[in-house]
């Protein structure tokens, strides 16, 4: 299989190491670019059930784990949270969604899963995500979310 380097886009890389992920549902491959020599990691997964997300306005779109990861990265910006930890959260959420064996899942359900993970991971990231996800309209609703977070400690 040809895998393009994410740094220089060279189309040839060699596999240095292959191993199953902890969950056992993918193969992790450590690669080295034949062009620039930089190393990167890829994951190989079997195609599964197509998962469709039903948005609040009833639009439907394919589940995009990269979009979910970008949202987590934004929430955790400048926080002491590793990318590996965020990828593990995305893996866990995707596994939960696929275990439902439903072709469609509501975006609200995904949002609640994300909130649950962030609540345990980092309170600042949780509040950041909640402020966007819950669409706070004023400082009072923002403060109420913080009070609820402090109560649940």
Q: Which tens digit of pLDDT belongs to each residue from 71-123? A: 999 999 999 999 999 999 999 999 899 888 889 999 999 999 999 999 999 99
Same domain, 76 and 3: no
Q: Examine the pLDDT at 57 and tell me if it is beyond 90.
A: yes
Q: How many whole angstroms separate alpha carbon 72 and alpha carbon 141?
A: 22
Same domain, 2 and 51: no
The dihedrals phi and psi of 45, each to the nearest 5 degrees, come to -130, 150
pLDDT in tens, 7-36: 999 999 999 999 987 777 778 899 999 999
Specify the number of domains making up the chain: 2
Q: Kindly give the interhelix angle for 65-75 and 83-99, rounded to the nearest 10 degrees.
A: 140
Q: How many whole angstroms separate alpha carbon 144 and alpha carbon 153?
A: 15
Q: How many whole angstroms separate alpha carbon 18 and alpha carbon 12?
A: 17
The dihedrals phi and psi of 5, each to the nearest 5 degrees, come to -70, 130
Same domain, 104 and 143: yes
Average pLDDT over residues 36-56: 87
Range of the domain at 77: 47-151
Same domain, 77 and 115: yes
């Amino acid at each position: 299989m040809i895998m393009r380097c994410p740094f220089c886009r060279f189309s040839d890389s060699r596999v240095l190491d292959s191993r199953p992920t902890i969950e056992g549902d993918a193969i992790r491959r450590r690669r080295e670019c034949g062009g620039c020599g930089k190393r990167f990691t890829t994951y190989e997964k079997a195609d599964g059930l197509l998962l469709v997300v039903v948005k609040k306005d009833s639009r439907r779109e394919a589940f995009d784990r990269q979009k979910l990861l970008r949202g987590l990265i934004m929430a955790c910006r400048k926080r002491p949270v590793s990318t590996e930890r965020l990828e593990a959260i995305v893996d866990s959420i995707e596994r939960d969604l696929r275990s439902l064996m439903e072709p469609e899942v509501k975006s609200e359900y995904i949002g609640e899963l994300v909130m649950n993970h962030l609540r345990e991971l980092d309170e600042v990231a949780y509040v950041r995500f909640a402020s966007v996800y819950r669409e706070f309209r004023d400082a009072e609703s923002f403060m109420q979310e913080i009070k609820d977070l402090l109560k649940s400690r």
